[in-house]
Chain A
Amino acid sequence: MAAPPRHVSMLSISNSNSNSNAGTPQSTSSEKPQTPQPPSTPQPTSGLRVPSNRKTIYDRHLNRSRNAESSRASFAYLFAEMVAYAQRRVKGIQDLEKKLNEQGYPLGLRLLDLLFYRSTSTSSSALSSSSTSSSPPNRPLRILPLLHLIHGPLWRLLFQRSADALEHSVSPDTPNEYMITDNDPLVNTYISVPRELNMLNCAAFIAGVIEGVCDGCGFEAKVSAHNQPTEMWPSRTVFLLRFGDSVMEREKVLERAGVK
């Protein structure tokens, strides 16, 4: 089952995949020639007013904030409010995790576009990415490259480091299960979970981000976050990715076809 649009009323934060066909000049998919859109036209397609000094998303480079920093505390406060807001609207841990997952999901969709854009236009000139032939297709077709995309570039974009481990389920019953481990998730930095909620892992939000990335790539998956503390890493978290049947079937077909 392809994922139905879970979030219909997204604000159109640029690159939101739902309007990647809107023809905005910074549309990021590298496979798409970008020349037909005059890159200097600031007019959005619509009746939105824009400031005369052109401080719009269309006039500013998408990589402008790439290396920009903010404080970890600000993230923590926003995240805390997100958790508190969700908590007020749900009953029980499962609901709360589901809600957090849902909040992360659209973020995953958006980050995916940003990741692709960055991965093609990083080195050398950003503009050269409009010629498609030179850059290899970077959208993962198989599960493993997708997982590497999450474990590496996605984690680096979010947390400025790679995830700590990537594993495949050893059980023959669950070949569709993969695990990505973060020894010390940023989102849990300040969280001290009370005993009565000891199953709760607020990294469900990140699980949602991962799910968004997977779905956005066409890999239907369910992703959940689990506490797996060790003595050294008390907030160690394992993200369990369960890919859907359709993905596993396609995986077999592609395997036979020799697609990597």
Chain B
Amino acid sequence: MSATKASRIGEEIWKTRIDKVNAELVTLTYGTIVAQLCQDYNSDYQEVNKQLEKMGHNIGMRLIEDFLAKSGVGRCANFRETADMIAKVGFKIFLNVAPTVTNWTSDNNQFSLIFDENPLADFVELPDDGRAQDELWFSNILCGVLRGALEMVQMQIEAHFVSDVLRGDDTTEMRVSLVRYIEDEMPPEEE
């Protein structure tokens, strides 16, 4: 499936099949989650990143079912198709944005998502404590979401942010790598 076709599908589902809420409710709710973590972990931002990723992983494992239920799409033929599906359908129907897929490695196992818009970070300025801008990946939950979601469709991936406008970078970019395809689990042997 081509990227343009994926975009069309994403648009269509977003318009017709998605219950909406005010985007600010999502933004602000996410903000309180991050703030709570920063408080609970005494601004240990490495730990906050880790916790956000974990939460995202939990979300991804649920969200993928919703994604499949809403989109009705089947398995992707290859990782390139998966990337377009994530960017143009997944992000579209859950956050109403469509990041750009780019910077593929030649083996087609790694790509970047560039976020022009990031609704999670809409009202955000990182704490001016001399550390947050170097240590906190505010939107790290998204990395976990991808990892959890793809794990459920038998892909082990690794995702991390490499830049973020909140840190003063000009772009917000996430790097996604395919680690391996996961085999079906068998029922435990008996007798």
Contacts and interface: CB of A to CB of B under 8 A. Distances in A.
Interface of A: 7-15, 44, 46-53, 55-57, 64-66, 68-75, 77-82, 84-85, 89, 103-104, 106-107, 110-111, 114, 157-160, 186
Given A11-B31, A71-B96, A47 B128 contact: yes
B4 interface: no
A46 B26 contact: no
Interface in B100-141: 119, 122-128, 130, 133
Contact of B124 (A57, A77, A158, A159): A57
Interface centre among B18, B29, B30, B55 (most CB of A within 10 A): B29
Contact of B29 (A50, A66, A78, A84): A78
A49 B26 CA distance: 26
Contacts of B165: 51, 53, 55-56
Contacts of A114: 24
Contact of A73 (B19, B25, B27): B19
Contacts of B25: 70, 75, 157-159
Given A69-B20, A70-B96, A186-B21, A12 B125 contact: yes
A72 B125 contact: no
Interface residues of B, number: 48
A56 B125 contact: yes
Nearest to B138: A11
A79 B119 CA distance: 16
Interface in B9-52: 18-36, 38-40, 43
Contact of A9 (B38, B63, B167, B170): B38
B95 interface: yes
Contacts of A10: 35
A71 B19 contact: yes
B7 to A, nearest CB: 17
3 closest residue pairs by CB, A with B: A49-B168, A68-B23, A72-B19
A70 B26 contact: yes
A127 to B, nearest CB: 20
B28 to A, nearest CB: 5
Nearest to B121: A57
A11 B127 contact: yes
Given A7-B35, A49-B133, A84-B58, A71 B95 contact: yes
A82 B29 CA distance: 9
Nearest to A114: B24
A7 B93 CA distance: 33
Contacts of B169: 51
25 contacts: A9-B43, A9-B127, A11-B38, A11-B125, A14-B125, A47-B128, A48-B168, A49-B167, A51-B165, A51-B170, A56-B125, A57-B123, A65-B24, A70-B25, A70-B96, A73-B19, A73-B66, A74-B94, A75-B21, A78-B29, A81-B55, A85-B36, A103-B32, A106-B32, A110-B123
A12 B127 contact: yes
B5 interface: no
Nearest to A48: B128
Interface centre among A14, A15, A75 (most CB of B within 10 A): A75
Contact of A50 (B21, B31, B35, B168): B168
Contact of B35 (A53, A71, A106): A106
Contacts of B59: 77-78, 80-81
Nearest to B119: A70
Interface string B55-85: 1001100110010000000000000000000
A259 B21 CA distance: 37
A160 to B, nearest CB: 6
Contacts of B21: 69-72, 74-75, 159-160, 186
Nearest to A85: B55
B23 A69 contact: yes
A77 B127 contact: no
Contacts of A68: 22-24, 96, 119
A52 B38 contact: no
A46 to B, nearest CB: 4
A11 B126 contact: yes
B58 A81 contact: yes
A71 B18 contact: yes
